[in-house]
Structure 1
């Protein structure tokens, strides 16, 4: 960035983050968890009383990635899955995928800077062709399932209108972990708590503190 352009946000921790020039030290884990829990997928639309948070989606993708892996994922690989949408929690915005190309190169560059700061802070390993392909499958299966159970798209609409090539799941992959009503979006405080617990657990395991 050049000049004096700034886009400050004040975080719950009282830290402040310049979205146009983020650094890895600008937020704490609680800020990220709450930001993801208060950022909603599907444009905030839901057939439930609450919309679905990116925090809950991230935990779903982690669970699916674990289930589809041929061998157990390393803590670093699991952290990469959990944090795949972490930039949205700092930005407070999750654009639906077909809209993103219309937001222009500036939005793409903004997201890339946030992703870069997150990668540095959490020492996230780079994707390779295989890990990216496996992640995309888990992410798209999660999307198909959310479209059906959370938003209310039909199975035919998911295939023909949303162009998602994967079948939605019937069973909620988070059900066996957290119980509750399958596919029901969680309140923000609960989503933040569960995301933060998973994040701290993976950081401890990766760093050998368990």
Structure 2
């Protein structure tokens, strides 16, 4: 598929109105139109695994990103807070475009990925991160993401450990107390609040 144009001319309405009042252009997103409150609100209401998880609530993308950051932190407790912020924000574009399952992303192809990359770059710039992360950092985040997916798959989505290991790699070994917290689906309000609290802590690690 062809890459979507960077401008929104002649493309109809391509912006999303946020509760903050911001209007975010999906094809040419400006960092000035990105607000963390909008991100937290949206991600807390987007379901992982297409909603096919156990529990009284959906397992939200907001909760997933917190789990990814926790896995990354457990693997390397001395890792810089800004890198953990990048982990927390790794799926932030989904507050606009939703969480499309990986098999469907593969069907759609490059068009989806191009939109996702532009949104993530705008989000990074808004919060003081490089538009594109170093490849080594990307690998660390991806490894933590796969570890989180393993835990979600086996605890919430009905996968056997063998299936999950084949698809996502090994169990990341997160302490049981943390698993009990992060893998119990939260309400949207709790997920939103926890996301904002963690975001603030990572932005102001000395406060």
TM-score, length-scaled by structure 1: 0.85
Q: In the TM superposition, what is the alpha-carbon distance from 1:118 to its structure 2 partner?
A: 0.7
Q: In the TM superposition, what is the alpha-carbon distance from 1:62 to its structure 2 partner?
A: 0.7
- Contact 2:71-2:172 within 8 A present in 1 as well: no
Task: Say whether 1:13 aligns with 2:17.
Answer: no
Q: Please, which moves more after superposition, 71-80 or 189-198? A: 71-80
1:137 to 136, 143, 159: 143
- CA offsets per residue over residues 100-137 of structure 1, 9 Å max, x none? 12113221111111011111101224533433322222
CA distance in 1 between partners of 2:191 and 2:80 (Å): 24
Q: How many residues align?
A: 199
Task: Say whether 1:105 aligns with 2:110.
Answer: yes
* Equivalent position of 1:187 in the other structure: 187
Task: Say whether 1:81 aligns with 2:87.
Answer: yes
Query: Residue 68 and residue 173 in structure 1: after superposition, are their counterparts in 2 closer, same or farther (change >3 A)?
Result: farther
CA distance in 2 between partners of 1:132 and 1:27 (Å): 22
* Equivalent position of 2:3 in the other structure: none
CA distance in 1 between partners of 2:60 and 2:87 (Å): 16
Task: Say whether 1:152 aligns with 2:158.
Answer: yes
Q: In the TM superposition, what is the alpha-carbon distance from 1:15 to its structure 2 partner?
A: 1.9
- Contact 2:40-2:62 within 8 A present in 1 as well: yes
- Contact 1:56-1:195 within 8 A present in 2 as well: yes
- Contact 1:64-1:173 within 8 A present in 2 as well: no
Query: Residue 109 and residue 174 in structure 1: after superposition, are their counterparts in 2 closer, same or farther (change >3 A)?
Result: same
Task: Say whether 1:201 aligns with 2:205.
Answer: no
- CA offsets per residue over residues 16-54 of structure 1, 9 Å max, x none? 222222111113211111111111111121121222111
Q: In the TM superposition, what is the alpha-carbon distance from 1:13 to its structure 2 partner?
A: 1.2
* Equivalent position of 1:54 in the other structure: 61
5+ long unaligned stretches in structure 2:
1-5
Give the secondary-structure state (helix, strand or coil) at the position aligned to 2:87. Answer: helix
- 1:171-182 aligned at under 5 Å gives the runs 171-172=175-176, 174=178
TM-score, length-scaled by structure 2: 0.86
The list of structure 1 runs, each at least 4 consecutive aligned residues, that deviate by more than 6 angstroms after superposition, is: none
CA distance in 1 between partners of 2:94 and 2:170 (Å): 24
Q: Please, which moves more after superposition, 12-21 or 195-204? A: 12-21
CA distance in 1 between partners of 2:60 and 2:168 (Å): 20
Q: Provide the alpha-carbon RMSD of the alignment.
A: 2.1
